Structure 1
Amino acid sequence: MLFDRVLIANRGEIAVRIARTLRGLGIASVAVHTPSDAGARHVREADLALEVPSYLDLEAIIGAALASGAQAVHPGYGFLAENAAFARRCAEAGLVFAGPPAAAIDAMGDKIRAKATVSAAGVPVVPGATEPGLEEWRDFPALIKPSAGGGGKGMVLVRSAAALPDALESARRTALAAFGDGTLLIERYVENPRHIEIQILADTHGNVVHLGERECSLQRRHQKIIEEAPSPFVSSEMRARMGAAAVEAARSVGYVGAGTVEFIVDGTTGAYHFMEMNTRLQVEHPVTELVTGLDLVELQLRVAAGERLPFAQEDVRLDGHAVEARVYAEDPARGFLPTGGRVLALREPGGAGPAASGPAPGGAGPAAGGPPPGGQPVVRVDSGLAEGGVVGSEFDPMLSKVVAWAPDRATALRTLDRALAGTAVLGVVTNIPFLRALAAHPAVAAGELDTGLVERVLPDLVPDEAPPGEVLAAAALVFHARPQGDDPWEVTDGWRIGERAWTTWRLESRDGVHAVQVRGLPEESAEVLIDGEAVPARIRPGADLAVTIGGRTTRYLCVRDGDTLWLGRDGASWPLTRHLIGDPGDRAGAAAAADGVVRSPMPGTVLVVKAQQGDRVSEGQPLLIVEAMKMEHTVTAPRDGVVSELSVRAGQPVDMDAVLAVVTSEEA
């Protein structure tokens, strides 16, 4: 018998996604939230919501579950999902944990122990070494990994013995911050690697099956960006062998529930080695759901309730192709630093058929909730976003996932591109243009993937910060439009005896200040000066702004926030601010190195202060480390000189462009 009420021990898009399946099954959902998340979408969509001090406070979450009358807890991913102590406390409190047994989490949560366990079961593993003595490793290139945790956090690629000490220090610090355990291991780095994972399911009756593979090779900083199922590299024979190895790995620890066995695969020979097992639902689970027709959350709940898996291995089939892109609050033009802000306007694509909003609940067999009849492409969006919501620096920067299914891979990629073009998040800089460029890259289209591809072709994927000329013209026309009120002296048509005058609008973008000249009233008849030529222009104001310049009409999603105007089109967005005479010539964060002012490149927390006031420093010398959304960024001295001011301390939160320090030349 399934549950009457389930608490979701998570937030954001995964909490919204779990609640959707619960709703379809007629199970009441209970959300938890921190004070800063009280207005979040996952809170509004749950049947009941309770406040907790932190998503990592397991006692508070257990207390919330008991107070709400929940019979089970679904951990989602991240936070407490792979915390064996949390699974044990659920059992002690009489709550069902919708995940594997604590012993399985322990066995697979420690990468060192996991490798030994699966190796004993006959699964091939990557050669490596463990603590102590990592400093003595000499087989390069090598990959450092935290023994606890996952998601790519704390992983560092090292190519020489000279770089090893600093890499170990950084990885250990990140591991402690993210997982509370600084234990590391090191492995030989496989050149030309593909990252391929196998989804498994196991019940309490001894049944274990796999649901095929996911290709997760498109990564940056060991974080997955675009995933797909099935892999264009894996044959049916290879799928069967890898699937059998994954099933054996799960059996070796008495696994129960949904889990993922991750392999590193040599892209030349096809040889595969076990990397780790994620004892939870994966971020990329929707692509498996779309090609199998299964609802993995529903199956997790049914297994947790003691039911048998309703199908055998021979019943599982893969239909068509699915591709997922992760939308992040990050700025590709600034080295993918985390961003933030308030969501001023939001557009997300929809789709057709039950898979557009997740597989249809109510049937956990292989045909349930699959692609719609006729094989028409489908778009699914798993999102935690809502207009008015604030994207802060305390959580992971992933905002949503855009997923496309089609009968074949080429059509799935085209469908994904159109879906991303129809996505807009105004108020927060995102990676959507980068995702579109990556999905359209020739190597991706050809299926020639490896985990280093993104880094190699990065210059081709990162968009220019400078807004296109027509976007600048559109913004100037909006600012130039007739003001509200009846005062004729405030009309901006530029009327003069003889001919109308030009008005110059100085607009500040992320790459500097731009001047645009306009005359006339844009709602009636106006002109903009482009390359010295007056071009007729007109706008139709509104959230869907129509801008006609030189007879060509372009539509933008448009929202104004004080003196800043956000324009969005085809997945890209541009914030443009009125720049008044006397303001600095550039944005605060783009201050020239010559002024010696050191500013925070992102909103976050000062993690480490490496210099003191009065220290002599050299250009490029590390001064501070700022952390946001589990990402560290080293801030360096902009020039040679003396640290004349140090404005922050370790542990202090800072805003983007906040002054951290000032380096003054010795002559000054």
Structure 2
Amino acid sequence: MNTSEATKKTADLYAKANDAFFDDDYDEALTLFTDLVKLEPENAEFLLKRCQVHQKLNHLECALEDGKKALDLLKQGSRSLLARAHLQLGITLHRLNLFTEAQTHLEQSKELNPNEKTLVTWLRKNTEKLPKIEEKLEIAPPTPAPVAPAIAPKVVGRHEWFQNDTFVTIEVFLKQVKPEHVDLNFFENSLSLSVKLPNGSNYSLELEPLAHAIIPKESTYKILSTKIEIKLKKAMVGIMWGALESDNDQGTTMAATSSVVKPKKDWNKLTSEVDEEKPEGEQALNSLFQQIYKDADPDTQRAMMKSFVESNGTCLSTNWSEIGAKKTEVKPPEANRGEIACRVIRTCRKLGIATVAVYSDSDENAPFVKMADEAYHIGPSIASESYLNGEKLIAVARKSGADALHPGYGFLSENADFADQVINAGINFIGPLPNNIRVIGDKIAAKVFITEHASSIPLIPGYNGTDQSVERLESEAKRIGILRKFPVLLKASAGGGGKGMRAVYETSKLKEEIEAAQGESLRAFGSDQLLIEKYFESIRHVEIQIFGDKYGNVYHINERDCSVQRRHQKVVEETPSPAVDAELRVAMTSAAVELGRKLGYVGAGTAEFILDEHSKKFYFLELNTRLQVEHPITEAISGLDLVELQLLVAQGANLKELGVLDNIQYKGHAIEVRLCAEDPDNDFGPRTGVIHKWSPADAAKYIPGVRFDTGVEDGSEISIFYDSMVAKIIVHAPTRAEAVRRMSAVLARTVIVGVTTNQKFLISIMNNPRFQSGTFDTNFIQQEKEHLFPVPHINDVKNSMVAALLFDWTIRRSQQVHLKNIQTGWRNVKWRNKRLNFAVNHGHELQIQYDYLGQPGNDKRHLFKAHVLDKDSAKAGEDVDELPIEIILFENDLGKEVAGPRGVQGCKGLLRCTIDGAQQHFYIAEDVKDINEKSVFVHDFVRGHQVELVKLDRLKSKSAAAEDDRVTPYTSSMPCRVLKVLAPSGTVVKKNTPLLSIESMKTEVKILSRHDGVVTMRVEEDQLVDARVLLCSVDDVKK
């Protein structure tokens, strides 16, 4: 390969790497920048780019290493790059909590490049642990909110610039600008702007020296209420500026007509004059772009739009209104939380749109709060007092100066009254029209509308009347159950996601389940209205993604199959559906588009159907008037960004003129799984806790088409107040079989430690032959229960037990101050082995017996042999016939402290050892509940999931304790809220009698008596309780 070819290859690779970074595909960016570093190991710029990618992926040690290498290479190099190296090192060290070193590098960066805006912005958001640096850099610290810790300060003003061959245009965004308060001067090589603001402060913009000279007398400006537009005439027409300001201390001197001019031209007049003439300059470029864009294929259109955003407007005109969009001037607040807030913010960043987030007490330190440009506290953790409080959300939008609001999904996203309130407040609602939501978002109103206006779309028989009394609902449910046979389905009219949904199989349970469904719906959506339908147990659940605009255009973006469900909530989604052929796809998408057109639907929506795979008949379920959780798989096969489309439609885009939804070329197969904090072995009950380690799969670096959408990070807490979803994992591959295989591999290599999840269950689904064949329905989990929930075997956790033993031994040994060679444990008697007892996932008890064999020579390895026994064998003191486990422990970094509840400290780290000749790795974290209980979370990289081992005091373990077997205690498996006491103290109950109902993560759970007896209730209604708290007990008087 000659020099020019090598240079071209490097340039192409660099462009692809930057594209991946821009698209938030950090794993792909890491691979590409690593290839670049291999090609040019001493290229400091490549190292600094890879350092940034490592920061995004939370690979902080790797980021630190790249930053230091770049700094060493730049000691005698570019002043600008050296400033960047110090900046990236400072940011990395700050995230590693090395604040003194971070401060040193940040100060050096500022000294080298005092105009670095990235540094100033970063310091304003992150200087809470660097109190001295604000003073040295003369940056005012953020003002703390009255009800919460300090948040990022509101930016009073900002500026953007773009250009064509003739002019450089600068837009300065401010609020309530008055012409008499503006002082603006042009010079040949500089610009000076000063604005007096309504609050008495001043905003100034000094650009000196400019990258090239300008002609002041031919430069103009215009003052609007929200911004100042400055149009600078280039002295050398045709020269494209690489930057607005020059690195040259003297600037570029050129002959110009005047040295200083206070411009007086009225830009409005200038514009009207130009409109009457033949288009030239910027207008000519606009017309050319529109023609190319209109005639281009979807991929080219997307590349053109991306080119504009990346270049900050230097490639194309910014007058989007003529091609169906309007450039957003101010930020939309995200009226939601968690992963969907992060998802919306990422697209806004890509489009150069500033964002505002709102957060409750529980979410104060959540990733979405840190990602947003501004964040406002809106109340307590209970959703009804924060995320469901529309008045507070609108108040934040007004306070922040936002002109648009994105509702995400859940909460108020499908509340027509809220959408009306937003619009009436003068704020753009990024979602369907309020009337769309009223007519079709409410499931009862939807059935009425379809019956009257779209009767060709088949409906499920049921009741959707306005009489919502418990008596009427019970009567109608009985009628449907008798007429069409039980079960019947109770469904919340105002929402989705399985909330407020109950399948009822017998008449005697109707009243109880109706009241429970109404309560759950009210708490989740603010409405307790229900509809009743005949429940089909063995069908496919297929939905169609639609998109409409304000001009009557409605498109579909194919189907998604969501048939794998538990508790009526989706677990796995995929597209295309294995059950839908070309003919059926046309029928279903046509029905969805017809419904959208009859409605005059605007924005993103999803028409959901149930499908009888054998007869090919389908029935309308509902139309969700929001973005769906599973939208990423549609994005994967279509190449679209649905959030970007939402923003464009909200700004007035005409989808037909935009053209991106015409003739979509669908590629491959995509699968999404929902990683949730729940316990599949206990009826998918929600679980809470602190995530000690979150590491998206390393496999994503090597496997193409992998995406993680999440709102958590190391240290995030999964609380009782919100949904249990931790992350969405999306895989895109050429075929379904390859997508399934990749998903299984990615799941097995994803590390989440500290919270019980459905990770192992999801792997079981991917490896299930019936799922792999694509022949399943909504009853799949129940039908495959034996295969998806295998009986636990001691071998499944044996290696995790060994890892827990080594972890315990290492930590106790590190805490010894003297005589470290004397072994810790129950005994130091050589002929008597030492023992540890653990309860596996709060259930089965196991004991590990081990002997420490010492260190061979001066080797740093430690040798052990061990046996793992179940509790009954350990209790009986039986001899172990099987061969002992041979163990080698290598040196490990296992002393890092992690804060537990009530300030108790635990430890975490990566452990490497050899078990019976096979070298293995485990990630382990200790969670100290209190001084009497310690949980050890072990992630086994071979089996691909976590095991929780509760360390038991052998003298007080369940197997050794003489418990009173007459009294059965009922404890909370997680933090929760007591909704209703159903059996007060003294109540005589039968087996399976409901004792009380509790709520966690918006899910209601009933506690049932396990035998006959007399109740002693320990809690009261509306009480918040921690995990493993005694709720009540039942005394079996017969014993």
Alpha-carbon contact 1:544-1:558 (below 8 Å) kept: yes
Measure, in 1, the Cα distance between the counterparts of 2:780 and 2:850.
Answer: 45
1:666–1:346 CA distance, 2 compared to 1 (3 A): same
Moved more, 89-98 or 534-543: 534-543
Judge conservation of contact 2:967–2:1036 (CA < 8 Å) in 1: no
Q: 1:161 to 1:616 in 2, by over 3 A?
A: closer
Map of 1:373 onto structure 2: none
Aligned to 2:665: 317
Structure 2 residue 881 is matched with structure 1 residue 526: no
Q: Which residue identity lines up with residue 555 of structure 2 in the other structure?
A: V
Equivalences for residues 38-187 of structure 1 within 5 A: 38-53=364-379, 54-119=386-451, 120-121=453-454, 122-131=456-465, 132=467, 133-134=472-473, 135-136=475-476, 137=479, 138=482, 139-141=484-486, 142-187=488-533
Q: Does 1:539 align with 2:889?
A: yes
Q: 2:542 aligns with which of 192, 196, 203?
A: 196
> 2-side partners of 1:283 and 1:648: how far apart?
36
**More helix as a share of residues:** 2
Q: Which moved more, 1:114-123 or 1:496-505?
A: 496-505
2-structure distance, mates of 1:250, 1:201: 8
Q: Is 1:15 the equivalent of 2:15? A: no
State the AA in 1 paired with 2:819: P
The Cα offsets for residues 197-247 of structure 1, whole Å up to 9 and x where unpaired, read as 000011112211000000000111110000001101111221122111101
- Is residue 262 from structure 1 mapped to residue 262 from structure 2 by the alignment? no
Find the counterpart in structure 2 of residue 621 from structure 1. Answer: 993
TM-aligned CA deviation for residue 586 of structure 1: 6.6
- How much has 1:386 moved relative to structure 2? 0.8
2:965 aligned with 1:634: no
1:377/1:502 Cα in 2 relative to 1: closer, same or farther (>3 Å)?
same
Distance 1:497 1:331, change over 3 A: closer
Please identify which structure carries the higher strand content.
Answer: 1
Normalization by structure 2: what TM-score?
A: 0.60
Structure 1 counterpart of 2:1000, one-letter code: A
SS at match of 1:28: coil
Is the contact made by 1:146 and 1:183 (CA closer than 8 Å) also made in structure 2? Answer: yes
Q: Assess, with a 3 A threshold, how the Cα gap between structure 1 residues 411 and 418 changes in structure 2: closer, same or farther.
A: same
Contact 1:508–1:587 under 8 Å retained in 2: no
Separation in structure 2 between the aligned mates of residue 295 and residue 592 of structure 1, nearest angstrom = 60
Q: Which amino acid aligns with 1:51?
A: H
- Partners of 1:613 and 1:387 lie apart in 2 by 42
SS at match of 2:498: coil
Separation of aligned partners in 2, 1:23 and 1:649: 47
Q: Does 1:559 align with 2:925?
A: yes
Instruction: State the distance in 1 between where 2:964 and 2:596 align.
Output: 55
Cα displacement (A) at 1:498: 9.9
Between 406-415 and 564-573, the greater mean CA deviation after superposition: 564-573
State which drifts further: 144-153 or 89-98. 144-153
Cα deviations across residues 583-624 of structure 1 (Å, max 9, x unaligned)? 341799xx8864322222332111111111112122321110
1:517–1:495 CA distance, 2 compared to 1 (3 A): closer
Q: Which moved more, 1:104-113 or 1:379-388?
A: 104-113
For the residue of structure 2 that corresponds to 1:80, the secondary structure is coil
Match of 1:251 in 2: 597
Q: Which has the larger radius of gyration?
A: 2
Cα drift, residue 182 of structure 1? 2.3
The C-alpha deviation readout for 1:68-87, integer Å capped at 9, x for no partner, is: 12121111101111111221
- State the TM-score, normalized to the length of structure 1: 0.91
Change (3 A) 1:56 1:350: farther
2:979–2:997 Cα contact (<8 Å) kept: yes
What is the aligned partner in structure 2 of residue 491 from structure 1? 822
- Quickly say closer, same or farther: Cα 1:277–1:484, change in 2 above 3 A: same
Q: Name the CA distance, whole Å, in 2 between partners of 1:195 and 1:161.
A: 26
* Partner residue, 1:342: 690
Q: Which runs of 5+ in 1 are unaligned?
A: 357-375
Note the C-alpha offset of 1:497.
Answer: 10
Verify the 8 A CA contact 1:493 1:500 in the aligned structure 2.
no
Q: Is the 8 A contact 2:863 2:889 kept in 1?
A: no
Is contact 1:598–1:638 with CA below 8 Å preserved after alignment?
Answer: no
Whether the 8 Å CA contact 1:512–1:586 is kept in 2: the answer is no
Cα 1:172–1:140 change in 2 (3 A) is: farther
When residues 118 and 612 of structure 1 are mapped into structure 2, their CA distance, relative to the original with a 3 A threshold, is same
User: Equivalent residue for 1:422?
Assistant: 749
Q: Is the 8 A contact 1:377 1:415 kept in 2?
A: no
SS in 2 for 1:104: helix
1:292 aligns with 2:676: no
Q: Give the match for residue 659 of structure 1.
A: 1030
Superposed displacement of residue 178, structure 1: 2.3
Letter in 1 for 2:886: P
- Displacement of 1:429 after TM fit? 0.3
Q: How does 1:440-451 map to 2 (within 5 A)?
A: 440-451=767-778
Shift of 1:496: 10
Distance 1:612 1:162 in 2: 22
Q: Percent identity?
A: 39
User: Which stretch of structure 1 is more off in the superposition, 541-550 or 240-249?
Assistant: 541-550
Judging changes above 3 Å, is the alpha-carbon distance between structure 1 residues 214 and 434 closer, same or farther for their aligned structure 2 residues?
same
| Residue 31 (structure 1) aligned with residue 363 (structure 2) | no
**What is the rounded CA distance, in whole Å, between the counterparts of 1:38 and 1:95 in structure 2?**
25
CA distance in 2, matches of 1:513, 1:381: 35
Change in Cα spacing, 1:586 to 1:49, as seen in structure 2 (3 Å) is: farther
Q: How many residues align?
A: 644
Distance 1:489 1:419 in 2: 41
SS of structure 1 residue aligned to 2:1022: coil
Using the alignment, how far apart are the partners of 1:189 and 1:495 within structure 2?
58
Q: Is residue 580 from structure 1 mapped to residue 953 from structure 2 by the alignment?
A: yes
What amino acid sits opposite 1:526 in the alignment? L
- Following superposition, the deviation at residue 326 of structure 1 comes to 0.1
Matched, 1:382 2:709: yes
Contact 1:478–1:539 under 8 Å retained in 2: no
Instruction: Indicate if the aligned counterparts of 1:191 and 1:266 stay in contact, CA closer than 8 A.
Output: no
Give the conservation status (yes or no) of the 8 Å contact 1:349–1:419.
yes
Residue identity in the other structure for 2:925: V
Aligned pair in 2 of structure 1 residues 430, 446: CA closer, same or farther (>3 Å)? same
Asked if structure 1 preserves the Cα contact closer than 8 Å seen for 2:367 and 2:712, the reply is yes
Match of 1:371 in 2: none
Give the direction of change, closer, same or farther, for the CA distance of 1:402–1:313 in structure 2 (3 Å limit). closer
Q: Secondary structure at the match of 2:715?
A: coil
Counterpart contact for 1:140–1:158, Cα < 8 Å: no
2:772 counterpart of 1:438: no
Q: Which amino acid aligns with 2:806?
A: L
CA contact (8 A) 1:196 1:216 kept: yes
Aligned AA (1:492): Q
Kindly indicate whether residue 1020 of structure 2 is the aligned counterpart of residue 649 of structure 1.
Answer: yes
